[in-house]
Structure 1
Amino acid sequence: MQSIIERRCVDLLHDAAKKGTTDIHIKPEPSCYTVSYRSFQNLRQVTQLPFDLGDRMIAYFKYLSLLDMSEKRKPQTGSFQLAINDLSHYFRISTLPSVLTKESIVIRIMPDDTAQSIHQLAAFRDSAHLLEKLSEASQGLILFTGPTGCGKSTTLYSLLKHCAEKLNRNIITLEDPVERKNQAILQIQVNEKAGLSYATGLKAILRHDPDIIMIGEIRDAETAQIAVRAALTGHLVFSTIHARHSVGCLHRLYDLGISFEEMAQTLIAVSAQKIIPMFSEIGQTEPCYRALYEILEGQRLEQALSSASDKKAYALPSHLSFDGQVKEGVKIGAIEASYAVKQDPSS
């Protein structure tokens, strides 16, 4: 029998997932907690919670995520899994202490989309084929970039599933935390308290005969160097990084201490993505959401690196850029013209 607090927490997760929410924010205010949902970059408040109820719900979410429930002065991250409407969902939780002596938490909602192939996720078939082809390389570094909530992890796990099941590759991940559990791959969670850092984890992984190494996220100079080092050892490395577009990713790496020469030796592709509403079938009245991919690889990657090294601007050919793909989608009736207008900065 569920407790009242457990029921309230589960109901909140169900409601948020049903409404297509990517993140739940529970934030302390002077007189209560506010609960807000983020959907496709828009954050809106949905309700308020009394302090007593909010404190107990936060404690329950920390319990599910195996966090230290008594620790309220330090940030913590964790994750848990729950079935909603018979579909498994993964939830990543992040806590922050506030000056109000209360914790703020954000819960990222991640449906288990790993069963979907890249062809089901991609807006256009050519992008899906290219990403699968790139994932079949024997060595190098492939990066996935884009804003929070754009589906980078979903794309990444879909390609890892393809490599494990179709190509029979030995895949080992190093994540902090593990976002989605996948039986087809060996997943390792960073645990600094136990002495398992990104650096020590990579050393152990390299002795475990991997074909592919996935580093959850390049978030600082250390993880950037670790990703490059792994690629230089002759392995295929996947990772994610935050940048606005594929070319911007090169400058982001440079800011993290990776030289353009190191990028030229290791990078084989950068894939930026964004989620767009599409009408994939004739007569469809409600849009489905698909990923647009802006992929920098091959000769164009070489040109972009050369331009970045010379401090010159580089632009992808129009038909490969986000704007060009949106225009093509409007042309064939897969994307509403009103969406294209919203994306035009001059409008």
Structure 2
Amino acid sequence: MQELIERRCSKLLKDAVDSATTDIHIKPDKTTYTVSFRSFQSLRQVAQIPFELGDRMIAYFKYLSLLDMSEKRKPQTGSFQFPIEVHQYYFRISTLPSVLARESIVIRVMPESTARSIHELAAFRDSARLLEKLAESRQGLILLTGPTGCGKSTTLYSLLKHCNERLNRNIITLEDPVERKNDAILQIQVNERAGLSYATGLKAILRHDPDIIMIGEIRDTDTAQIAVRAALTGHLVFSTIHARHSVGSLYRLHDLGVSHEEMTQTLIAVAAQRIVPVYPEIGEDKAVHKALYEILHGERLEEALLSAKRQVPYALPESLSFAGQYREGVKIGAIEPAETSAKDYLV
């Protein structure tokens, strides 16, 4: 039976990797577990499995992640490494108890171990060049935002790769968990059980003479304040924040206790992103998925900050917005048209 469980789990992980899945969902229903894959922000059901088999598969994934296999009443998080064909992949697991007395789990498929160049990720070269230029700033705060599964962390790792290769600076990351290991930089993993939170970890990092700090996510007031303080004291800080668009990130920061003056002094840029199907060469018939970036910086950022302070809506020029870039890409044949409108596609 155990050999069967291991084969089923291995096949599930391989199927996820082969289909460019970002998250595997195993959720209990009334009579079975439903297995779904999230790919490029879309969730699709791929299988239903009996409770007995699902319970054993969940237990096996918890075993791989060094989680407490007997604990089913509390949420747990962990990560594990697993070989698929000739490559090693990293996976992050999150468990939640449900009212059905069974656990729901989500397994995040980590990106490949080697970070790709921002030019490989971006749909348009101008966006890639601008992000690289912004990443070479001496100090300040650069934020990535967008929905789950849109590739924010992948972009951050790409920018860190650029900084590490082009700049002679001390780079330290604080992540929950570390999504891609890089021996060239110092990476720290949040461990709440050991008392290492984002807030306590950032305080310790500031005493370690960093030039560049990457924070996995600004998720609370303490983390936001320490990130701002780091940016104010001569460090370049990268992080992600949850907001639908670049302008929305300013309001999210305000909700987390960051003042207008602090944003004005620290923010270098806010880049929201979405994944779209792009033709590598105009005229090709097979699309690959790449990132559109809506980048708020310079005068546009100043205008948006002033509008936010006055509580007046601010809209980016059409050419810089997601919808404008999308329409232009479709017009020149670089982006595959969606069945829905550009506005619906990029929400």
Q: TM-score range by the shorter chain?
A: over 0.9
Partner of 1:56: 56
- State the one-letter code of the partner of 1:185: I
| CA shift digits 1:169-224 (9 cap, x unpaired) | 21111112222211121111111221222222122211211111111111122221
Distance 1:200 1:40 in 2: 33
- The correspondence of residues 216-295 of structure 1 with structure 2, limited to 5 A, is 216-295=216-295
**Map 1:1-347 → 2, pairs under 5 A:** 3-112=3-112, 114-336=114-336, 338-339=337-338, 342-345=341-344
Cα distance in 1 between the residues matched to 2:228 and 2:309: 18
1:226 Cα deviation (Å)?
2.1
**Superposition TM-score, scaled by structure 2 size:** 0.94
Equivalent residue pairs, number: 344
Give the superposition deviation at 1:90: 2.5
Closer/same/farther in 2, CA of residues 298 and 88 from structure 1, 3 Å limit: farther
What is the alpha-carbon distance in structure 1 between the residues aligned to residue 86 and residue 117 of structure 2? 20
Q: 1:85 to 1:318 in 2, by over 3 A?
A: farther
- CA distance in 1: counterparts of 2:55 and 2:339, whole angstroms: 43
Contact 1:36 1:43 (8 Å CA) reproduced = yes
Distance 1:126 1:27 in 2: 41
**1:64-121, Cα deviation, whole Å (9 max, x unpaired):** 2222222211111122233434344321111100111111001111231643100010
Amino acid of the residue matched to residue 316 of structure 2?
A: L
Q: Distance in 1 between matches of 2:332 and 2:262?
A: 41
Measured in 2, the distance between the counterparts of 1:32 and 1:341 equals 33
103-112 vs 113-122, greater mean Cα deviation: 113-122
Q: Which amino acid aligns with 2:108?
A: R
Contact map agreement 1:327 1:340 (CA 8 A) in 2: no
Letter in 2 for 1:196: L
For 2:183 and 2:231, how far apart are their aligned partners in 1? 24
Task: Tell me if structure 1 keeps the 8 A contact 2:118–2:128.
Answer: yes
Secondary structure (helix, strand or coil) at the match of 1:172 reads strand
Q: Distance in 1 between matches of 2:323 and 2:4?
A: 49
**Deviation digits for residues 126-157 of structure 1 (CA, Å, limit 9, x no counterpart):** 10011001111111110000000000000000
Instruction: Give the partner amino acid of 2:64.
Output: L
Q: Give the 3-state SS of the residue equivalent to 2:31 in structure 1.
A: coil
Residues 32 and 51, structure 1, Cα contact 8 Å, conserved in 2: yes
CA shift at 1:341, angstroms?
A: 5.1
1:113 and 1:154 in contact (8 A); partners too:
no
Rounded Cα–Cα distance in structure 2 between residues aligned with 1:157 and 1:98: 34
CA contact (8 A) 2:27 2:33 kept: yes
Deviations 1:19-66 (A, max 9, x none): 222211101112221111122232222111222211111111112222
RMSD over aligned CA atoms reads 1.7
Of residues 265-274 and 191-200 in structure 1, the stretch that sits farther from structure 2 once superposed is 191-200
Identical pairs, percent: 75
Query: For the Cα contact (< 8 Å) 1:114–1:158, is it kept in 2?
Result: no
**Gapped runs of 5+ residues in structure 1?**
none
State TM-score, norm by structure 1. 0.94
Instruction: Flag structure 2 segments of 5+ consecutive residues without an equivalent.
Output: none
Q: CA deviation at 1:294?
A: 0.4
Amino acid at match of 2:286: E
Take 1:179 and 1:46, find their aligned partners in 2: how far apart are those partners? 25
CA separation of 1:50/1:196 partners in 2, compared to 1, >3 Å: closer, same or farther? same
